[in-house]
């Protein structure tokens, strides 16, 4: 299974990110390309431990039923719901968001699973380091595919 803690998998995502065009048309959803990058920056900053989170009540109720799908081999489906904290609607600068995301991906991946273990995701709750590595890889892959990357 791909994880951000694997150098090859992480570098492949970083290459796809570098090739992303600011004007890429979305294949699904409502976010623009730059909003998607900002959305991923918020999510990655949580994964990197920049903000302490608590699991939402809805997440506590739903996660046990979807955990296998989230952390399994199958890619995320289109038009999955987004936690309001991760919705970015204000205007952002494409290159700044892309650079911030690349830095977060690289730093998080190089730190490894150990520091990520026990961090809380807003929806999925407390995750192991390995789960964080899989979740972040799948999330980034999902959105790069959304914009043809």
Q: Tell me the CATH number for domain 7-146.
A: 1.20.120
pLDDT attached to residue 84: 82
Please list the ranges in the chain whose pLDDT falls under 50.
none
Note whether 122 and 33 are within 8 A (CB): no
pLDDT in tens, 67-106: 998 999 999 989 888 888 888 888 899 999 999 999 999 9
pLDDT attached to residue 91: 87
* pTM recorded for the entire structure: 0.95
């Amino acid at each position: 299974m791909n994880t951000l803690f694997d150098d090859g998998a992480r570098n492949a995502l970083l290459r796809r990110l570098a090739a992303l065009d600011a004007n890429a048309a979305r294949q699904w959803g409502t976010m623009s390309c730059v909003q998607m990058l900002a959305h991923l920056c918020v999510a990655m900053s949580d994964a990197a431990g920049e903000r302490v989170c608590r699991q939402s009540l809805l997440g506590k109720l739903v996660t046990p039923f979807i955990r296998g799908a989230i952390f399994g081999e199958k890619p995320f489906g289109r038009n999955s719901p987004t936690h309001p904290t991760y919705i970015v609607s204000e205007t952002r600068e494409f290159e700044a968001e892309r650079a911030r995301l690349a830095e977060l991906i690289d730093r998080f991946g190089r730190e490894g699973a150990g520091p990520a273990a026990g961090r809380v995701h807003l929806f999925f709750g407390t995750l192991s380091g390995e789960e964080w590595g899989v979740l972040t890889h799948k999330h980034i892959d999902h959105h790069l595919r959304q914009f043809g990357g």
